[in-house]
Amino acid sequence: MKGISYSRFGGSEVLEYGDLPEPKLSQNAVIVRMKAAAINPADIALQAGLGESMMETWFPVVPGWDLAGIVERVGAGVTEFQPGDEVVAYTHQEILHSGTYAELASVPVERLWRKPRNASWSEAAGLPLAGLTAYRAVIDTLRVSDADTVLVLGASGGVGSMATQLAVASGATVIGSASGPHQAYVTSIGAEPVLYGDGIVERVRNHAPNGVTAIMDCAGHGALAKAMAAAAPGARLCSIADGGPGVTTVFARPDTKILARLVDLVEAGSLRVTVAASFALADAADAQEALKARTYGPGKIILVPAAA
């Protein structure tokens, strides 16, 4: 099969496209033919070696954790899926070795769920990691309700856009920070847009004079510290990027029950995945550079087996 791998830590320059061994099929896994895979900041960070103290690495590494595709084969112990099923997966493993930037992936059955019927392959691939992170932040950690006014920092990004939509679906009033070109997008997903950066507290207070009751930081780079003064007393705080006193750091975690809820929300029209750009699998290095440079619009950057 064709795929992307790297044999040493580094930037996009370490990625190689070529022939790779086909993945083995264990009794409780399925082989999925990749139709789309999402690029995530975590891929780039781990590739750079930032997770070396926490995770074992077996070179060569095929990066990537997000996947949408078609089941080709099922293990002897799998009854939940059959060949031809359209699925999505968050394939996170504690050993960095087998990922989703490849034509085929072996996925443990507990990482899989059916693909949303009304989503494209690219949209489906962008759902798992970002959706699971956003759900854990908005629903499980902040416990957002219709009594809240929520500030989402980085509301036009992959996680931020889903966090915004989940907060809106929970009945909250949502304020979302984004760059100037992305203000209209923030409005389109149900939030009041504000420009990020210096002066954000005053801009948020224009919408919420008494302060916001919850802040979800999807931006990092000190954005939460700049916005803290917009919080009401007792506000709940969480971040996917920055920590600090009173701030809960949130990470994605494989959870099929939550993935099933996310798929249901997509099919109900309450949650949509925005695709910023698609790249051919062979151009994964360019896709990573595009993510780092933020040269595309809101949403996720996706890999597909052939040119988009």
pLDDT tens digit string along 230-258?
999 999 999 998 888 999 999 999 999 99
Contact 153, 231 (CB under 8 A): no
CATH number for the domain whose boundaries are 130-249: 3.40.50.720
Both structure tokens of 303: 């890999």
- 141: how many CB neighbours lie within 10 A of its CB? 17
The neighbouring-strand residues paired with 238 are 216, 248
Dihedral Cα 165, 170, 172, 178, nearest 10 deg? -10
> How confident is the model over 210-237, as a mean pLDDT?
97
Helix (H) or strand (E) holding 223: helix 223-227
Instruction: Please tell me the predicted confidence (pLDDT) of residue 307.
Output: 52
Q: Contact, 224 vs 237, CB < 8 A?
A: yes
CA 304/CA 200 separation, integer angstroms = 37
Residues in the chain, how many? 308
**Strand 29-39 vs strand 300-304: parallel, antiparallel, or unpaired?**
antiparallel
CA distance 162 to 131: 6
Whether 114 contacts 86, CB under 8 Å: yes
Three-state DSSP state, 167: helix
Q: In terms of pTM, does the model score above 0.75? A: yes
Omega before 60 within 30 of 0, i.e. cis: yes
List the structure tokens of 130.
């970002």
Query: What secondary structure, in 3-state letters, does 74-110 show?
Result: ECCCCCCCCCCCEEEEECCCCEECCCCCECEEEEEHH
Q: What is the pLDDT of residues 102-114, one digit of tens each?
A: 999 999 999 999 9
Domain limits of the chain? 2-127+273-304, 130-249
pLDDT of residue 279: 97
What would the two tokens of residue 227 be? 């916005």
* Closest alpha carbon to 212 in 155, 269, 134: 155
Residue 59 has pLDDT above 70, yes or no: yes
The pLDDT value recorded for residue 308 is: 43
- Which amino acid would we find at residue 288? Q
User: Which residue matches tokens 């095929």?
Assistant: 62
Write down the CATH number for the domain with range 2-127+273-304. Answer: 3.90.180.10
Residue 265 backbone phi and psi in degrees, to 5: -65, -40
Give the pLDDT of residue 294. 85
CB atoms within 10 A of CB 198: 8
Per-residue pLDDT of 78-100, as tens digits, reads 999 999 999 999 999 899 999 99
Q: What is the mean pLDDT of residues 277-282?
A: 97
Q: Residue 126, exposed/middle/buried by CB under 10 A (0-12, 13-18, 19+)?
A: buried
